[in-house]
């Protein structure tokens, strides 16, 4: 490998990794938001992401214009996740369910979504959504990104900033943080827990749908695309499962690490890289990069 190859690989690996990693970061934010507020790791996040892609495809196939497909998809996915929280998760909560029961409920949602998607008649054929931005190449140093890559990164950053602002400066955001810190105390001061949880789930659904609409033109959607949630979980663990900024950093790290491992070690090792990142994090800093103090909770 020559020096110019090394330089090219580094530049391209980092830039492409940031673009893909920003989508992992969005999904990681969705996972962390739900976890921080409800203490539940949502194992259906990948399927929710996939559902966003398929809802958009079905609407397009029905002749709806893409300008309308986008908001309709966001509303639909947000409604599905909010409904799931209201109907299923609240039932588990009121039955004094413990952690593993919530997890099983999310797994049930994952299987239900996958089953429903397979009924759409779209089969296993990989499909794309229309790209909102062209795929024309933009040279950056020795590397090349497309306008779509840049748009994905920018859109993801905008969403992350909006979420940060919401959590920091809005009443709803503060209420969500309060519920996450101490549900009983939040309830005492008049915050309706079920409403806040429903809103958090709706928000995580909308974020996942945004991620799907952004990245589907780049990675294509199939019923198996839900595996992308594994990368989002890796991002959340690396960044810190209780930290939204950590989820962002984790996502970008995973995206870049995947590419650099593929370029400098082996393409066979790309899929292993996120798991190695998880292992290293759990050994060196189990709470993640920005996860605060180590906490051990009984599930």
Partner 1 sequence: MKLSKSFAVALAATVVAFGASAQSDPGLTDKTIKIGMFGPLSGNSMAYGFDVINAAKMYYDKVNKEGGVHGRKIELVVEDDRCNANDLLAAVKKLVEQDQVFMLNGGGCSSAVVGAREYIDRMKVPLVMQAASGDGALYPPSRYIFGALSISQYAVGGSIVEFASQYLKAKKIGYINHDDAYGSWNLEAARFQAKKNGVDLSVESINPTLTDVTAPMLKIRAANPDVLLIATYDRPASLLVKKALELGFNKPIVITVNGTADTKQLAANVGNKDAFKNVYTQGLLADVPGGPKLKWVYDMYKSYYPELAAKPGHPTTYMPEGITPAKVIVEALQKIGPNPTREKLADVLANTNLDTGITAGPIVFTPTDHAGQKSAIYMKFDGESETLLPGVYRSSWTYAPIAK
Site for partner 1, rule CB under 8 A: 5, 8-9, 12-13, 16-17, 20, 118, 123-128, 131, 135, 137, 144, 146, 217, 219-220, 222-224, 227-228, 231, 255, 258-259, 261-263, 267-268, 270-271
Q: How far is the CB of 112 from partner 1 (least distance, A)?
A: 17
Q: How far is the CB of 137 from partner 1 (least distance, A)?
A: 6
Q: How far is the CB of 90 from partner 1 (least distance, A)?
A: 34
Choose between 30 and 40: whose C-beta lies nearer to partner 1: 30
Q: Write out the H or E segment, with its range, that includes residue 143.
A: strand 143-146
List helix spans (H) across 87-191: 90-94, 99-117, 147-169, 171-181, 183-188
Choose between 126 and 141: whose C-beta lies nearer to partner 1: 126
39: which DSSP letter? Answer: S
Q: How far is the CB of 260 from partner 1 (least distance, A)?
A: 8
Q: Kindly list the distances between the CA atom of residue 238 and the CA atoms of 71, 244, 251, 285, in Å, as whole numbers in the listed order.
A: 32, 12, 8, 9
140 and 228 in contact (C-beta within 8 Å)? no
Tokens of 150: 């840049």
Choose between 57 and 159: whose C-beta lies nearer to partner 1: 57
Tokens of 219: 């990675």
Q: How far is the CB of 74 from partner 1 (least distance, A)?
A: 22
User: Angle, nearest 10°, between helix axes 193-219 and 66-84?
Assistant: 140
Choose between 94 and 268: whose C-beta lies nearer to partner 1: 268
Choose between 16 and 81: whose C-beta lies nearer to partner 1: 16
Choose between 91 and 227: whose C-beta lies nearer to partner 1: 227
Give me the residue label for tokens 């229309």. Answer: 130
225: which DSSP letter? Answer: G
* Phi, psi for residue 241 in degrees, rounded to 5: -70, -10
Please tell me the distance from the alpha carbon of residue 28 to that of residue 204, in angstroms, as a whole number. Answer: 10
Q: How far is the CB of 77 from partner 1 (least distance, A)?
A: 20
């Amino acid at each position: 490998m020559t020096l110019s190859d090394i330089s090219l690989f580094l530049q391209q690996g980092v830039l492409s990794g940031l673009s893909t990693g920003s989508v992992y970061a969005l999904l990681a934010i969705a996972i962390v938001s739900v976890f921080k507020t409800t203490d539940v790791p949502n194992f259906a996040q990948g399927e929710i992401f996939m559902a966003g892609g398929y809802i958009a495809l079905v609407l397009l196939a029905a002749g709806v214009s893409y300008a309308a497909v986008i908001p309709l998809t966001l509303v639909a996915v947000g409604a599905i996740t909010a409904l799931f929280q209201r109907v299923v998760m609240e039932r588990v909560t009121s039955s004094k369910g413990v952690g593993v029961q919530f997890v099983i409920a999310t797994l049930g949602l994952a299987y239900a979504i996958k089953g429903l998607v397979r009924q759409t008649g779209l089969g296993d054929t990989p499909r794309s959504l229309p790209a909102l931005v062209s795929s024309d190449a933009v040279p950056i140093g020795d590397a090349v990104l497309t306008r779509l890559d840049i748009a994905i990164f920018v859109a993801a950053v905008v969403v992350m900033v909006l979420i940060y602002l919401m959590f920091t400066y809005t009443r709803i955001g503060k209420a969500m943080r309060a519920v996450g810190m101490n549900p009983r105390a939040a309830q005492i001061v008049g915050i309706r827990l079920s409403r806040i949880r429903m809103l958090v789930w709706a928000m995580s659904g909308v974020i996942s749908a945004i991620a799907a609409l952004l990245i589907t033109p780049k990675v294509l959607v199939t019923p198996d695309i839900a595996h992308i949630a594994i990368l989002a979980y890796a991002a959340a663990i690396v960044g810190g499962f209780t930290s939204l900024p950590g989820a962002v950093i984790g996502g970008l790290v995973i995206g870049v690490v995947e590419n650099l491992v593929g370029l400098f070690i082996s393409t066979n090792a790309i899929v292993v890289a996120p798991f190695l990142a998880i292992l290293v994090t759990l050994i060196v800093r189990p709470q993640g990069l920005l996860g605060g103090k180590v906490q051990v909770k009984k599930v």
